[in-house]
């Protein structure tokens, strides 16, 4: 559902989109010192599936934000020219992690119309056609930010999509910050977003840390844009199955089962890394 705000800065060109994949997470509950995104789904590091989806959706550049044991992540993609790396040296939230990639987007920041996805590296059930649908909506409406949402039975842990009485998108509220009423919301943000690159980094420069967590959340950007009268789109494009999170070995096994059942594991795309 679109907002009512008009956007004075329409997308003028059809540049190939880029992607920023957040891949610096520690995965503390995985019972391993391996970076979370390197745990295997379909016989290879789960982040490979996210990179594949970005490529299939037409991304010309893919930037992985790495941190803990980054050399292992870099080794997986050695020789793959469309994959670049940015470093998050401290765990200060998704907004901080995304901003760590800013120096690689100097050209895109000079003019509007450069779309950049911001995605989680631990979501291997992502589908390229979901990204394509987001990009189509983003470009067709001239939005500066387009989010994908999903309605799931158990929204525990996810940011909630908050709407007003007329059903218009208001913002994303992180689980820890939800009121009791917001905790009952089942429409969630599964970390699928596409932004105008220049707008994204301008907004990240003004982010304030979350009062409870002390971290910078990219989920604060859409509400900030709305407050400035900018256009934000929300598209219900993510099947509930695709939202399954991976925080424990048991969840990893379930996602691996689903991924293999789809028959989408592509051998040889990247080298496996074992704990």
Q: Catalytic annotation on 186?
A: no
Which listed residue (29, 90, 257, 271) is catalytic?
29
Q: What is the set of active-site residues?
A: 29
């Amino acid at each position: 559902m679109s907002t009512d705000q008009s956007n004075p800065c329409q997308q003028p060109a059809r540049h190939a989109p880029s992607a920023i994949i957040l891949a610096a997470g520690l995965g503390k509950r995985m019972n391993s010192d391996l970076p979370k995104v390197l745990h295997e789904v379909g016989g290879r590091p789960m982040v490979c599936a996210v990179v594949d989806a970005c490529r299939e959706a037409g991304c010309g550049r893919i930037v992985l934000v790495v941190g803990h044991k980054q050399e292992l992540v870099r080794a997986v993609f050695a020789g793959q020219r469309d994959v670049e790396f940015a470093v998050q040296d401290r765990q200060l939230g998704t907004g901080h992690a995304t901003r760590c990639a800013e120096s690689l987007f100097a050209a895109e920041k000079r003019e509007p119309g450069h779309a950049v996805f911001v995605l989680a590296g631990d979501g291997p059930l992502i589908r390229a056609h979901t990204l394509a649908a987001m990009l189509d909506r983003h470009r067709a409406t001239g939005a500066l930010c387009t989010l994908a949402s999903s309605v799931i039975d158990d929204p525990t842990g996810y940011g909630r999509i908050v709407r007003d009485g007329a059903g218009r998108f208001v913002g994303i509220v992180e689980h820890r910050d939800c009121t009791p009423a917001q905790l009952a919301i089942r429409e969630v943000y599964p970390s699928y977003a596409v932004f105008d690159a220049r707008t994204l980094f301008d907004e990240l420069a003004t982010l304030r840390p979350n009062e409870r967590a002390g971290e910078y959340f990219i989920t604060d950007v859409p509400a900030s844009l709305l407050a400035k009268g900018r256009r934000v789109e929300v598209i219900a494009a993510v099947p509930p199955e695709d939202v399954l999170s991976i925080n424990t070995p048991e969840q990893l096994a379930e996602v691996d089962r689903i991924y293999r059942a789809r028959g989408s594991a592509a051998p040889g795309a990247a080298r496996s890394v074992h704990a």
